[in-house]
C-alpha cells in the first residue's frame, strides 16, 4: 500500500493543494510556500501516537504574515492505493476490509478524510471519515479502531536534524530503548557477516568503520537518546579527518547493498531504521507496516560529499519517501521525474512535476545532463532567460546588473540552450511551472528557434512579447556593434576607427584576438563606464519583461 494522493484545504500555511505521489518524491519550493505545512499534515494524521490528534485554532489556514486571519474549516484527504507487493494480511485485514474501494482502473483504494470545523460555540471539532469512490462518506464517523489500524499499517516516520527532534520532545530513556540499541548492534553484525560472504575490496576493518559511520548517520536523523550505562557509539555527525575514511567506506557499502541480488541487505538496513525509531521511544512498528518516510532537508550540517553518501543510503530503503531540500547538490543526484516544485499562487499552492509520461527518453537525457547535472540550481528558479550561447550568458547577467536588476535575488537564471536544444528546455519549464523568455539571434538558426518558441505560445502579440525577443542582427556581436559599441570591437581587433573595413571582418578579427566571452565582458565593462543609457533599449525592455515574469512567480 502506498499514499497516492494528498489533498489539503485550509490547513495552516496552505489554502489549497493537491499533490500526486510516486514511490520517491523530492519537494522544492521557496520559504512559506507550504512544504512544512504539508509534512505537518502527514505527521499529525498518520504518525502512530497514544491519542488521535485533534485540531486546534492554530491548524486553520491563515494568509502568509497574518496568523490572526484564520479560516473556520479545513480538510485533509489521503488516498491509499493497493500495491501488488502487499501481503494478504494488509489487503485482507478485517478492520480495513470494508474500506477498500474498487476503481474503474481495477485498483483498490482507501480514501481517508479528516475535517476540522469551528462550531457556533467557537469550539474546534475534528471529524474523521472513510469515503466511497464518489466522495460520499461510508459512515458518519470512522471508528477509532479503523483509524489506528490504518496508522499502524501505514505509519509516517519523519526524519530531521537531531537538534530539531530534541526541541520537539525530551524523552526519558527506557529499558525498551536500551534493548533496541542492543538489537541495533546485532543488526550491524548481521550486515557485516552478509557483506563479508561476498568478494569485495573492503577489509574487515573498513567494513566495521563504514558501518559505524552508517549508525552515526542514522543517529543524526533519529536522535537516539543515551541512557545510564549505555553510551551511543556516536553522538553527532563528525567531519573530522579520522571519520572521512568511514564515509568513503560507507559509500562502498552502499554500492554493495544496492546490487540486484542484495534484497536481504536492504531489509537489514530497514530493520536498523526501525530499531532506531523504537530507540527514540516511538511505538513499535508492525511487522507488516509499510512506512512512509519523510526526510526533511537532509543536507542540514552535512558536507556535499557526505550528503551524497547519506542520500544513497536513504535511497536503499524499500520505502515510499517524501523529501524536502534546498540543496542543488542533492538535486543533481535525483532523477527529474522525482522532483516536484511547490509554487504559491493567489488561491492555492500549485504542484508541478514531469509525470510518468512527461518527456521522451531523449528529452529526459538532455534535461538530465544540461539541467540536473550541470545546472541543478536552475530547478529553484522562478524564470529562465534562455539564450543561444555562452556570450549571451556573460553579457546578459552583467548588463542586467548595470540596469539595477539582480537576477539572482529575483530568481532569474540565464541558460544557454544550443547544446540541449530549445524545445526540451521549454517543454520542461512549462511542466515544472517555471516561467521563461527566449532571446534568439536574427540569423537563419535564430529564426528557427523563434518559430519553435511561437509554436508553444498562444496566437497573440502580447504572449510573444512576454516570451520572445529576436535580435535585429545576425548575432549578439553584430547587434552590439550597431548599438554604439563599434569602437570596442575596433579597439580589440587593433583596427583604427578611421580605417574602412567590413563590419563582419572587424568582428571576426576581434574574436580571433580575444574570444566571444571575453569580448562580451569588454563590452559590458565599457557600458558600465558609459552608464545605463548606453545599454540597448531592446535589452532593457527584455530585462523588465523577464523581471515581470519572475515576480509573477514570487509570493
Long-range CB pairs of 137-144 (<8 Å, 24+ gap) are: 137/113, 138/98, 138/99, 142/112, 144/52
Q: What is the pLDDT of residue 170?
A: 39
Q: Could you tell me if residue 452 is inside a domain?
A: yes
Q: Cell numbers for 276, please give them.
A: 532506531
**Structural domain of 123:** 2-156+337-345
Write the pLDDT tens digit of every residue in 233-272: 434 444 444 455 666 666 767 776 776 566 666 666 666 6
Over range 403-417, report the average pLDDT: 94
Q: What is the pLDDT of residue 224?
A: 36
Q: Cell numbers for 414, please give them.
A: 540565464
Over range 516-523, report the average pLDDT: 90
Q: Cell numbers for 274, please give them.
A: 526501525
End of a domain among 280, 312, 345? Answer: 345
Q: Cell numbers for 472, please give them.
A: 535585429
Q: Say yes or no to pLDDT of 38 above 90.
A: yes
SS3 353: coil
Q: Say yes or no to pLDDT of 512 above 80.
A: yes
Q: Say yes or no to pLDDT of 527 above 90.
A: yes
425 band by pLDDT with thresholds 50, 70 and 90: very high
Sequence-separated (6 or more) residues with CB below 8 Å from residue 150? 46, 80, 96, 110, 112
Q: What is the pLDDT of residue 76?
A: 98
Q: Say yes or no to pLDDT of 173 above 60.
A: no
Neighbours of 346 (CB within 10 A): 5
Write the pLDDT tens digit of every residue in 72-90: 899 999 999 998 766 555 6
Per the CB < 8 A criterion, the answer to whether 217 and 313 are in contact is yes
**In 3D, which of 437, 411, 414 has the Cα closest to residue 341?**
411
Based on the fold, state whether residues 80 and 190 are members of the same structural domain: no
Q: What is the pLDDT of residue 315?
A: 82
Q: Say yes or no to pLDDT of 547 above 80.
A: yes
Q: What is the CATH number of the domain that holds 38?
A: 3.40.50
**Euclidean distance between CA atoms 113 and 78, whole angstroms:** 6
328 band by pLDDT with thresholds 50, 70 and 90: very high
Based on the fold, state whether residues 438 and 379 are members of the same structural domain: yes
Q: Could you tell me if residue 481 is inside a domain?
A: yes
Based on the fold, state whether residues 284 and 305 are members of the same structural domain: yes
**In 3D, which of 239, 236, 249, 235 has the Cα closest to residue 192?**
249
Q: Could you tell me if residue 316 is inside a domain?
A: yes
Per the CB < 8 A criterion, the answer to whether 425 and 386 are in contact is yes
**In 3D, which of 215, 200, 213 has the Cα closest to residue 251?**
213
530 band by pLDDT with thresholds 50, 70 and 90: very high
**In the chain, how many domains are there?**
3
Per the CB < 8 A criterion, the answer to whether 161 and 297 are in contact is yes
Q: Could you tell me if residue 325 is inside a domain?
A: no
Q: Say yes or no to pLDDT of 163 above 50.
A: no
Q: What is the pLDDT of residue 318?
A: 77
Based on the fold, state whether residues 69 and 179 are members of the same structural domain: no
Beta bridge partners of 6: 19, 78
| pLDDT over 70 percentage in the chain | 74
Strand 468-470 and strand 435-440: the pairing is parallel
Q: What is the pLDDT of residue 167?
A: 37
Task: Write down the mean pLDDT value for the chain.
Answer: 82
Q: Could you tell me if residue 328 is inside a domain?
A: no
Q: Say yes or no to pLDDT of 549 above 80.
A: yes
Based on the fold, state whether residues 148 and 167 are members of the same structural domain: no
Q: What is the pLDDT of residue 458?
A: 75
**Euclidean distance between CA atoms 467 and 552, whole angstroms:** 14
Based on the fold, state whether residues 55 and 177 are members of the same structural domain: no
Instruction: List the single range of 180-184, 204-208, 419-423, 515-519 with lowest mean pLDDT.
Output: 180-184
Per the CB < 8 A criterion, the answer to whether 472 and 479 are in contact is yes
Q: Say yes or no to pLDDT of 375 above 90.
A: yes
Based on the fold, state whether residues 7 and 152 are members of the same structural domain: yes
Q: What is the crossing angle of helices 204-222 and 263-279, to 10°? A: 40
Based on the fold, state whether residues 270 and 381 are members of the same structural domain: no
Q: Cell numbers for 119, please give them.
A: 462550531
**Euclidean distance between CA atoms 545 and 405, whole angstroms:** 11
Q: What is the pLDDT of residue 461?
A: 77
Write the pLDDT tens digit of every residue in 447-472: 999 999 999 887 777 889 999 999 99
**Euclidean distance between CA atoms 480 and 391, whole angstroms:** 12
Task: Match 536500551 to its residue by C-alpha cell.
Answer: 178
Based on the fold, state whether residues 202 and 312 are members of the same structural domain: yes
**Euclidean distance between CA atoms 68 and 62, whole angstroms:** 7
Strand 101-102 and strand 14-20: the pairing is unpaired
168 band by pLDDT with thresholds 50, 70 and 90: very low
**230: DSSP letter:** B
Q: Say yes or no to pLDDT of 355 above 80.
A: no
SS3 192: helix
122-140: b (≥16 Cβ within 10 Å) or e: eebeeebbbbeeeeeeeee
Based on the fold, state whether residues 363 and 297 are members of the same structural domain: no
Q: Say yes or no to pLDDT of 136 above 50.
A: yes
Q: Say yes or no to pLDDT of 275 above 70.
A: no
Strand 320-324 and strand 24-28: the pairing is parallel
**487: DSSP letter:** H
Based on the fold, state whether residues 270 and 358 are members of the same structural domain: no
Q: What is the pLDDT of residue 54?
A: 96
Sequence-separated (6 or more) residues with CB below 8 Å from residue 487? 497
232 band by pLDDT with thresholds 50, 70 and 90: very low
Most confident of 143-157, 159-173, 176-190, 285-299: 143-157
Neighbours of 382 (CB within 10 A): 20
Q: Could you tell me if residue 520 is inside a domain?
A: yes
Q: Cα 500 to the chain's mean position, in Å? A: 57
Beta bridge partners of 296: 324
Q: What is the pLDDT of residue 239?
A: 46
Based on the fold, state whether residues 534 and 517 are members of the same structural domain: yes
179 band by pLDDT with thresholds 50, 70 and 90: low
Element (H, E) at 113: strand 108-118
Strand 339-345 and strand 320-324: the pairing is unpaired
Q: Could you tell me if residue 284 is inside a domain?
A: yes
End of a domain among 281, 310, 345? Answer: 345
Between 363 and 272, name the one with better pLDDT: 363
Q: Could you tell me if residue 515 is inside a domain?
A: yes
Amino acid at each position: 500500500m502506498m499514499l497516492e494522493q494528498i489533498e489539503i484545504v485550509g490547513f495552516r500555511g496552505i489554502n489549497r493543494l493537491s499533490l500526486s505521489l510516486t514511490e520517491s518524491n523530492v519537494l522544492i519550493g521557496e520559504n512559506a510556500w507550504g512544504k512544512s505545512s504539508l509534512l505537518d499534515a502527514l505527521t499529525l494524521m498518520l504518525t502512530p501516537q497514544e491519542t488521535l490528534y485533534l485540531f486546534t485554532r492554530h491548524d486553520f489556514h491563515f494568509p502568509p504574515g497574518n496568523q490572526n486571519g484564520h479560516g473556520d474549516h479545513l480538510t485533509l484527504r489521503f488516498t491509499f492505493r493497493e500495491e501488488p507487493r502487499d501481503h494478504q494480511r494488509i489487503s485482507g485485514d478485517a478492520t480495513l476490509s470494508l474500506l477498500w474501494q474498487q476503481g474503474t482502473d481495477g485498483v483498490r483504494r482507501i480514501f481517508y478524510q479528516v475535517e476540522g470545523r469551528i462550531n457556533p460555540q467557537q469550539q474546534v471539532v475534528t471529524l474523521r471519515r472513510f469515503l466511497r469512490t464518489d466522495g460520499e462518506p461510508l459512515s458518519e464517523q470512522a471508528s477509532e479502531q479503523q483509524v489506528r489500524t490504518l496508522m499502524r499499517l501505514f505509519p509516517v516516520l519523519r526524519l530531521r536534524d537531531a537538534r530539531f527532534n530534541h526541541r520537539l520532545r525530551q524523552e526519558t530513556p527506557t529499558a525498551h530503548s536500551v534493548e533496541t540499541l542492543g538489537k541495533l548492534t546485532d543488526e550491524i553484525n548481521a550486515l557485516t557477516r552478509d557483506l563479508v560472504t561476498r568478494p569485495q575490496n573492503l577489509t574487515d576493518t573498513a567494513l566495521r568503520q563504514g558501518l559505524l559511520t552508517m549508525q552515526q548517520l542514522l543517529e543524526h536523523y533519529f536522535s537516539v537518546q543515551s541512557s545510564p550505562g549505555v553510551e551511543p557509539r556516536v553522538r553527532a555527525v563528525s567531519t573530522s579527518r579520522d571519520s572521512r575514511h568511514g564515509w568513503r567506506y560507507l559509500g562502498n557499502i552502499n554500492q554493495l547493498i544496492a546490487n540486484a541480488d542484495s534484497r536481504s541487505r536492504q531489509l537489514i538496513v530497514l530493520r536498523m531504521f526501525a530499531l532506531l525509531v523504537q530507540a527514540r521511544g516511538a511505538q513499535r512498528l508492525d511487522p507488516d507496516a509499510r512506512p512512509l518516510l519523510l526526510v526533511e532537508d537532509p543536507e542540514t550540517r552535512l558536507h556535499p560529499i557526505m550528503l551524497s553518501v547519506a542520500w544513497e543510503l536513504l535511497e536503499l530503503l524499500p520505502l515510499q519517501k517524501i523529501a524536502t531540500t534546498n540543496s542543488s547538490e542533492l538535486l543533481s543526484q535525483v532523477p527529474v521525474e522525482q522532483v516536484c516544485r511547490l509554487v504559491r499562487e493567489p488561491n492555492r499552492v500549485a504542484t508541478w512535476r514531469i509525470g510518468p509520461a512527461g518527456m521522451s527518453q531523449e528529452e529526459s537525457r538532455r534535461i538530465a545532463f544540461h539541467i540536473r547535472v550541470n545546472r541543478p540550481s536552475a530547478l529553484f528558479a522562478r524564470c529562465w532567460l534562455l539564450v543561444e550561447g555562452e556570450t549571451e550568458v556573460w553579457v546578459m547577467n552583467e548588463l542586467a546588473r548595470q540596469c539595477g536588476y539582480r537576477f539572482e535575488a529575483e530568481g532569474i537564471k540565464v541558460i544557454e540552450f544550443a547544446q540541449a536544444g530549445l524545445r526540451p528546455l521549454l517543454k520542461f519549464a512549462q511542466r515544472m511551472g517555471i516561467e521563461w523568455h527566449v532571446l534568439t539571434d536574427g540569423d537563419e538558426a535564430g529564426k528557427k528557434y523563434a518559430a519553435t518558441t511561437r509554436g508553444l505560445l498562444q496566437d497573440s502579440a502580447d504572449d510573444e512579447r512576454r516570451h520572445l525577443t529576436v535580435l535585429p542582427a545576425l548575432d549578439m556581436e553584430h547587434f552590439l556593434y550597431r548599438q554604439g559599441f563599434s569602437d570596442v570591437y575596433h579597439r580589440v581587433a587593433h583596427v583604427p576607427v578611421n580605417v574602412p573595413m567590413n563590419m563582419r571582418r572587424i568582428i571576426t578579427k576581434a574574436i580571433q584576438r580575444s574570444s566571444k566571452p571575453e569580448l562580451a565582458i569588454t563590452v559590458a565593462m565599457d557600458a558600465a563606464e558609459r552608464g545605463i543609457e548606453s545599454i540597448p533599449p531592446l535589452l532593457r525592455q527584455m530585462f523588465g519583461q523577464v523581471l515581470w515574469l519572475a515576480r509573477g512567480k514570487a509570493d
